[in-house]
Structure 1
Amino acid sequence: MDYIWLFLIGLIANVLGTLAGGGGLISLPAMLLMGIPVHSAIGANKVSNTVSSLSSFIVIYKYKEVTVKEAFIIVPLCLGGGISGGLIASFLTESTLTIIAVVLLSFALLTSFMGSSDFEGNRLLVVSKKSGVGLFGIGLYDGVFGPGSGTLMMYVLSHLGISYIRAVGLARIAIFSSCFGAALMYIATGKIMWAVTIALLLGSVSGAQIGVHLARKLKKEYVKPLLRIVTIALIIQIVATNL
């Protein structure tokens, strides 16, 4: 029965995660409530997100809405961030991670009201030094902790003038890269509970596919409100969990 719950958790979390990020809002607390050790829960998330994010990116790539060139721009930045985050995770306290998460999400929420970008246009991805540091930083945060990284990635891509469905695809390859780097570190340190991880992974891949198809039908005027709702929910959940 626990494995069925894990499948459903992965499915629901990745539908939300694909549309607006924030899948960790569901999956991580749910696994902790099931009594799964925190490092094993985070590790399961990293492995399952690696596979599910790649699967959703491939679907969007098949529709020719993102390019391999753009993926190759994002992969090294987020992969490097994910590996670095996985390496330094053990040196940061949970309270420090909480502060980092709340500050980043609050900043993203504020800029969403201030900025003029609303996933309009269809620009190709061009990374400046500033946005490159931002992508690496989100990959680093994803490797260390995770919840909210997909949402932060969507905000960055919105400010770069990327259309919504392309932002979904690029965010998925970014999350794939950072999670892959982090997953290697969790596997190397023996933190993975494979039965738990596989059950979550199967649900995650199913949810990612559903999310991609929903994203293609979602009207762009609904995207920013959805992102804001997810961001506020993430902030509340992270703060409440650590009170």
Structure 2
Amino acid sequence: MEYIWLVIIGLIANVLGTLAGGGGLISLPAMLVMGIPVHSAIGANKVSNTVSSLSSFIVIYKYKEVTVKEAMIMMPLCLGGGIAGGLVASVLTESTMTIIAVVLLSFALLTSFLGSSDFNGNRPLVVNKKNGVTLFGIGLYDGVFGPGSGTLMMYVLSHLGISYIRAVGLARIAIFSSCFGASITYIATGKIMWAVTIALLIGSVSGAQIGVHLARKLKKEYVKPLLRIVTVALLIQIIVSNI
């Protein structure tokens, strides 16, 4: 029965995660409540998100919404961040990462109200030194902790003038890269509970496919409110779980 619940958790989390990020606010707390050790829960999330994110990116790529060139720009930065994040996970305390998560998400929420970008643009992805560091930083955060990284990535892509469905595709390849990098370190350190991970993976891939098809139908005026709701929910969940 535990494994059935993990499939359901993975499905629901990845529908939300694909649309606006924030799937970790469902999957990680739920796994901890089930008594799964924190490092194994995070590791299961990383492995399942690696596969589910790639599967949703492939669907968007088939519709020619994003290009391989853009994906190749994102991948090294986020992959490097994910590997670095997996390595520093043993150095930074959970309380430190919680503070970082709250600061980053609060800043993203604030800029969503102050900024004019709302996924109206259709600019090509151009990475410079400034936003390159930002993408690497989100990958690092995703490798260490995770919840909120997809949401932060969507805010960044919105700021860069990327349209919504393209932002979903690019965010998915970014999460694939950072999670792949982190997965290597979690597997190498023996933190993976494979039965748990595979059950979560089955649900995650299904949820990602549902999410990417919903994303193609979601009206752009609903995207910012959805991102804000997810961000507030993430902040509440992170703060409450650490009181």
TM-score (norm 1): 1.00
**2:134 matches 1:144:** no
Identical-residue share of aligned pairs (%): 89
Could you say what secondary structure the match of 2:89 adopts?
A: helix
1:197 corresponds in structure 2 to 197
Provide Cα deviations, 1:45-70, integer angstroms capped at 9, x if missing partner.
Answer: 00000000000000000000000000
1:184 corresponds in structure 2 to 184
CA distance in 1, matches of 2:101, 2:89: 14
2:124 corresponds in structure 1 to 124
1:5 corresponds in structure 2 to 5
CA distance in 1, matches of 2:232, 2:90: 27
Q: Which ranges in structure 2 are unaligned for 5 or more consecutive residues? A: none
List 4+ stretches of structure 1 deviating above 6 A: none
Q: How does 1:40-55 map to 2 (within 5 A)?
A: 40-55=40-55
Q: Shift of the alpha carbon at 1:227? A: 0.1
Q: Shift of the alpha carbon at 1:122? A: 1.0
Q: Shift of the alpha carbon at 1:199? A: 0.1
2:67 corresponds in structure 1 to 67
1:18 corresponds in structure 2 to 18
CA distance in 2, matches of 1:220, 1:127: 24
1:235 corresponds in structure 2 to 235
2:213 corresponds in structure 1 to 213
Partner amino acid, structure 1, of 2:230 = V
CA distance in 2, matches of 1:88, 1:54: 25
Q: Shift of the alpha carbon at 1:135? A: 0.2
CA distance in 2, matches of 1:143, 1:188: 14
Q: How does 1:67-106 map to 2 (within 5 A)?
A: 67-106=67-106
Q: Shift of the alpha carbon at 1:178? A: 0.1
Partner amino acid, structure 2, of 1:22 = G
CA distance in 2, matches of 1:120, 1:171: 17
1:133 corresponds in structure 2 to 133
CA distance in 2, matches of 1:53, 1:145: 17
Partner amino acid, structure 2, of 1:173 = I
How many residue pairs are counted as aligned between the two chains? 243
Could you say what secondary structure the match of 1:217 adopts?
A: coil
Partner amino acid, structure 1, of 2:186 = Y
Q: Shift of the alpha carbon at 1:121? A: 1.9
CA distance in 2, matches of 1:192, 1:66: 32
CA distance in 2, matches of 1:2, 1:87: 30
TM-score (norm 2): 1.00
Q: How does 1:168-179 map to 2 (within 5 A)?
A: 168-179=168-179
CA distance in 2, matches of 1:2, 1:159: 41
Partner amino acid, structure 1, of 2:50 = T
